[in-house]
A and B are shown apart, each in its own frame.
Chain A
Amino acid sequence: MSPDSSSPDRLLTVDRLVKRFGGFRALDGVSFALGAGEVLGLVGPNGSGKTTCINTISGLYPPDGGAVRFAGQTLGGLASHRRARLGINRTFQSPRPFASLTVRQNVALAAAYGRRHGAGTGGADSAALLAELELDHLAGRRAEDLNSAQQKQLDLARALATAPRLLLVDELAAGLNPAELGRMAERLAALARGGMALLVVEHLLSFLDRLTDRVIVMNAGREIFEGTLAEATRDREVVRVFLGGDHAG
């Protein structure tokens, strides 16, 4: 773990986080920290707890142990809609659009209800956001009519409409074609350059490689490695975990 990971000026501090499902510990004492403008990759085999980590930070369930601190505040059991207004937002591994509403309504609702306190209205232009995410030609369509890649873009558009300071991204790259992948990586990198903190869960390491150097590797609810992606691929424990799992390399 890097020495400054618990320093108080980091935007997000996850401290020995525990989440149980029945007797099973999906998160078993995970700690890391993330500052504004930083991108942290989170990798690990299937079922290692990556999504659970995002779910707990975003308030889907309260932690069973440890703490999540955001901008100097311990979040405890704070509801998701309040976290959104504090500036935490996310995408979902399988996209979760408001299926019966139009693309435009999906984004407009997030801008109206979830806009971060103090974010002002600058950049709150839903139309510009839709254009940026290549959804403008679909604005009037019901979200259920979109394909899965488009629904992922919509997830991201909705999250960005709230002007988050911390964005949690869960396997956004899956299902995108190479050209889309390149644009998506550049988009996320631009968000970080603009000061947003990003936690990026990703199986596609080449995608992650374009975004950040710093990764955490999880296995069975625990963090087994923190460092650069290049080091991770040479780490014996990491290699063992991945070769044992479904995602070699």
Chain B
Amino acid sequence: MPRVLRDFLSVGLPVVAIFALLPLVYANQLLLFNFVLFLILAQGLNAIYGFTGYLPFGYVGFFGAGAYGFALAVMHLAAPPALALLLAGLAAVLLGMILTPLLRLSGAYFAIANLAAAQAVYQVIANPALQDITKGPYGVSLASVFAPKASYGAALLILAGVLALVAWLRHGRFGLALQAGRDDPVSAAMAGIPVVSARIIAWLISALIAGLAGGVFAWHISVFYPETAFDLSTSIFAIVFTLFGGAATLSGPIAGVILLYGLYNVIGISVPQYFQLIYGALIVGLVLFLPRGLASLLQRRGIDVP
């Protein structure tokens, strides 16, 4: 069996199946939805960070663009949810295209510029002068399309697609070329890999994933404000989950979401300020001491982590 299929069937599909069945036994659907949302976002971040090494602190910008893409499509075009979701993804991809010059920056400069870009998009959308279009700081209400079961199902479909995509990135030719460019852009170019264009494609894929996540979030939550859609902690969470579990693997980000978002919901809600502190410390610690996450503990022992 090809490794892409094997990884998807052994890791991806079970996760989707479990989250499809959980609503039957667990009543807090919003919490389950948030888990699915972070599973999608962590893999979307994985697609860019894990496979190219670019860490986008402004990743939430794509999520917000998707959420507002969905909202604008519903409010102004009366688009049905499925079409609005597509437009949400498209909005994020367009933002990604505008931001491709950022990929010329490296390391911290890229992270900071990306963060600033997300802030700029937030400021535009939250601007009271654009109230007629975006509802400005007053937030949007999409009660006309509210359908929590359908939107939960859509989120699961997106998750399935994203997990399949990451499995392909891990084993397919294109994803291996990305990893080569991440390991050593100079020798990758000498091996004939168009490193820059491959990176741009990964960037747009990653933007698309966050845009779809933002769109399905808007659909599910139906009432939200710019500061919810562009909440920086969304970026931080996705980054921490991915780094903690192990970027560039399929199972690492999943483990990161289940463990850390689980922990957050058990104890973090009551003392959120400590949790932010813990997460900040965790990022620093991970980057310094365990840059390849939990997965690397197994990989070091020669175990092939899917």
Contact = CB atoms under 8 A, between A and B. Distances in A.
Given A96-B184, A99-B183, A113-B177, A58 B248 contact: no
Contacts of B176: 101, 105, 108-109
A196 interface: no
Contact of A98 (B180, B192, B194): B180
Nearest to A161: B191
Tell me which of B176, B191, B195, B248 has the highest count of chain A C-beta atoms within 10 A of its own C-beta.
B191
A97 B195 CA distance: 15
Given A98-B179, A109-B176, A81 B192 contact: yes
* Chain B interface category by residue count: 10 to 19
B190 A84 contact: yes
Nearest to A85: B192
A100 B191 contact: no
A84 B184 CA distance: 16
A112 B173 contact: yes
Contacts of A97: 183-184, 187
A80 B189 contact: yes
Interface residues of A, number: 31
Contacts of A96: 184, 186-187
Nearest to B189: A80
A101 B193 contact: no
B193 A109 contact: yes
B193 A81 contact: yes
B188 interface: yes
A159 B186 CA distance: 13
A90 interface: yes
A79 interface: yes
A169 B195 CA distance: 23
A114 B183 contact: no
A116 to B, nearest CB: 9
Given A97-B184, A100-B248, A113 B179 contact: no
Looking at chain B's contact residues, the main secondary structure is: helix
B68 to A, nearest CB: 37
B187 to A, nearest CB: 4
A92 interface: yes
Given A101-B176, A109-B177, A112-B173, A81 B189 contact: yes
A153 to B, nearest CB: 14
Interface centre among A92, A110, A155 (most CB of B within 10 A): A110
B247 to A, nearest CB: 11
Interface string B169-209: 00001001101100110111111111100000000000000
A109 B191 contact: yes
Interface in A155-178: 155, 158-159, 161-162
B192 A115 contact: yes
B248 A80 contact: no
A89 interface: yes
A162 B192 contact: yes
Contact of A114 (B173, B179, B191): B191
A98 B183 contact: yes
Interface string A78-95: 011100110001101000
A105 B183 CA distance: 13
Interface in A204-238: none
A133 to B, nearest CB: 15
Residue of A85, A112, A155 with most chain B CB atoms under a 10 A cut-off: A112
A190 interface: no
Contact of A84 (B177, B191, B248): B191
A60 interface: yes
Interface in A114-168: 114-115, 155, 158-159, 161-162
A149 to B, nearest CB: 17
Nearest to A158: B191
B187 A81 contact: no
Nearest to A83: B190
Interface of A: 58-60, 79-81, 84-85, 89-90, 92, 96-101, 105-106, 108-110, 112-115, 155, 158-159, 161-162
Interface of B: 173, 176-177, 179-180, 183-184, 186-195, 248
A-B residue pairs, 6 tightest by C-beta: A114-B192, A113-B192, A80-B189, A110-B191, A96-B187, A84-B192
22 contacts: A60-B186, A80-B189, A80-B190, A81-B194, A84-B192, A92-B186, A97-B183, A98-B179, A98-B183, A100-B248, A101-B183, A106-B180, A109-B173, A109-B177, A109-B193, A110-B191, A113-B193, A114-B190, A114-B191, A114-B192, A115-B192, A155-B187
